Structure 1
Amino acid sequence: MYYRLFFLNLFLLFSFCSQAQKATELTLMTYNIYHGEDPYNLGKSNLREIADLILEIKPDLVAFQEVDSMTVRTQGFNDGRKLDVVKELGEMTGMQSFFAKAIDYSEGGYGEGLLSRLPVSFKSYSLPIPHGGEGRSMAVAEVELEKSKLLFAGTHFCHEFEENRMAQAMESIRILMDSDSPSILTGDFNFTSEEAAYNVISDHFTDAALDFGDPQLTYSSKDLNTRLDYFWLDKDSDWEIVSVEVFEVAYSDHLPVVIKVKLKD
C-alpha cells in the first residue's frame, strides 16, 4: 500500500511539473510594406505577394508599417478604387485586422496595421513628436492566450529627428510597462544600435535578433544598407527565442522579419 501511494504521489508530482513548464509558442512577423505598392514597379500592388508570404509562414500576429487606408494613392495600384490596405490583407489571409492612423493623408489615413489569428482586442496610441514633423502611432493587440494575456505592439518611429525617436521610445515603453501582461514591441524604428533611443528600449526589452545571434540587415536602398526593423521582448517575462529569420523578398524596400518564441507560463 505504501509503495502504491509513493508512486502515485511521484506520478502526480511529475505531472504537475510538466504542466508548470508548458510554454506557448508564437510565430510573429513585422513588415514595412511601402503602403501596399511595389517600390520597384510603381503602380503595381504588392499585396498578393505579401498575403501569399503570410499564408506560407502562418504567423499568429503580424505588424505592418507604412499602411494606407482609403487614400487616393491606393487608386493607382487598385484599378482606380480606394483601398483599406490592412483590411484587404486580413481578408486575403483570413486574419483579424486593425488600422491605427498616424496622420491624415491623401483623403484617407496612413499609419500602422496589425493582423491576428488569435482572440484579440485592439487599441491605438499617438506617439509624441516634440521636434515636429510627421505624426506617429502605435497599434497594440491585447491577445488572449490559454492562461494569460499578451500585448503585441507595432510602431514606426520618426525617420527625421532623433529627439522624436527618443520621445517615442520612452512613451512606447511607458504604455507597455503600465500593464502586467508580457509584452512585445516591434516595427520599423528608424535607428541603429548606436543610437540613444535603442539603448533606452534595451534597458527594458531584449533585442530578439541580437540575443539569438548574427542579426541580419532589414533595409536596403541605393544609399543605405542597415537594420531598422526589430522585435523587442520585455525582460520581465520568461521568453525562449526559437528562431529569427529575415526573408529575402523584394516586395518592399524593407525585408520582413519573422521570429518564433516560446512564452513560459
Structure 2
Amino acid sequence: MIGLGILSWSPLCAQDTLTVMSYNIYHGEQPYNEGQNNLQEVADLIKEIQPDFVALQEVDEMTERVAALNQGQPFSLADSLAALTGMHGYFGKAIDYAGGGYGEGLLSKVPLETQKIMLPVPKGGEDRALLFAKVQTSSGHHLIVGGTHLGHQFSENRLAQVVRINDYFSDMDVPILLGGDFNFTPESESYRTMQEQWIDAALLSGVEPGPTISYENPQKRIDYIFLSREFDWEVLDYRTIKVGYSDHMPVVATIVMHAR
C-alpha cells in the first residue's frame, strides 16, 4: 500500500459514482490565438461539467512562458485553475522549464495528499511523471486517482513508461483510475500493453470514442481514462468535449465503482 492520507470523499453518493475529466491544456495558452491565456475558458468548462477530479497535462508552474501570458508575472496554472473553479489544485513537476516547472496537474473537489513517480526515458528526451493520490469515498471504499502525460518523442519511451506504470500499480488492492495524454493510439503496442492491466473506460461506455487531437483537424485518439482491470466498474457516460481551448479536446467519464 502507498503511504498517502485517506480523505473522506463527501461529494460522492453511496454507490460511489464520480465524474472524471482529463485535459491537456496546452501550457495555459490559446493554441489558435497565440499570446492569450485559456484559463478562464478552461475553468468555465470545468465548472459546467462539475467533475470530481481533473487530470491536467502540459501544466506550467512559474515559468517565463506563462509570465508572457500575464503581463510578465509568472504564476501557477494549477493554483489559478483551482481558484477559478473552487477546487483544490496540485502540481507534479516532470522537468525544469523556463525558470519554473512543467508537468502534471490534478484538480479535486476535496483536499488530497499527492504523490509523484518519475517515468523512464530509455531513449532520452523529456522526463515524464505520474501524479496521483489515494482517497476514501463516503461509503468507505478506497481508490487511487491520478494523471500522466507519456512522452511524445519515442515509442520506446512510451512503452517503457507503460511498463513502469503497470509494475508500480500491480500489487495495489484498491481500484485505480488514471487519466491523461498517453500519446499513443489504440493500434499501438503501448496501448495493448496498457490493456494487460487496465480497461479503457470508453470501451465500457457503449459509445464509439472519437479523436481527441487536434481540435481543428481531429485525427488521433491519444487522451484516455483508464480503469484498473481487477475491479468492477460501470461507465454511465463517456464524452469527448468538442471545444478549442487547447489543441487537445478533453475527455469526461461518469463512472460507478461497484464493491467487490
Same-fold call, TM cutoff 0.5: yes
SS of the equivalent of 1:261 reads strand
1:121 is aligned to 2:121 = no
Query: Distance in 1 between the 2:217 and 2:161 partners?
Result: 25
User: 1:154 maps to which residue?
Assistant: 147
Query: Distance in 1 between the 2:218 and 2:231 partners?
Result: 35
- The root-mean-square deviation of aligned C-alpha atoms, in Å, is 1.3
8 Å Cα contact 2:66/2:75 also seen in 1: yes
> Structure 1 residues 222, 24: closer, same or farther in 2, change over 3 A?
closer
1:87 is aligned to 2:89 = no
Query: Distance in 2 between the 1:152 and 1:180 partners?
Result: 14
TM-score (norm 2): 0.91
**Residues 29-67 of structure 1: CA deviation (Å, up to 9, x unaligned):** 000000001011111010000001111110000000000
User: 2:134 maps to which residue?
Assistant: 142
Structure 1 residue ranges (4+ consecutive) displaced by more than 3 angstroms after TM superposition: 221-224
User: 2:34 maps to which residue?
Assistant: 42
8 Å Cα contact 1:118/1:144 also seen in 2: no
Q: Which has the higher helix share?
A: 1
Match of 1:203 among 188, 196, 213: 196
Give the unaligned 5+ runs of structure 1: 1-21
1:173 is aligned to 2:184 = no
Percentage of pairs with the same residue: 45
Aligned length: 244
State the shift of 1:223 in Å.
7.5
SS of the equivalent of 1:139 reads strand
> Structure 1 residues 223, 129: closer, same or farther in 2, change over 3 A?
farther
User: 2:4 maps to which residue?
Assistant: none
User: 2:6 maps to which residue?
Assistant: none
Give the unaligned 5+ runs of structure 2: 1-13
8 Å Cα contact 2:148/2:180 also seen in 1: yes
State the shift of 1:204 in Å.
1.1
Query: Distance in 2 between the 1:106 and 1:163 partners?
Result: 27
Rg larger in 1 or in 2?
1
The amino acid of 1:24's aligned partner reads: D
1:214 is aligned to 2:214 = no
**Residues 119-148 of structure 1: CA deviation (Å, up to 9, x unaligned):** 432111110001100000001021221212
User: 2:52 maps to which residue?
Assistant: 60
**Residues 10-35 of structure 1: CA deviation (Å, up to 9, x unaligned):** xxxxxxxxxxxx52000000000000
TM-score (norm 1): 0.89
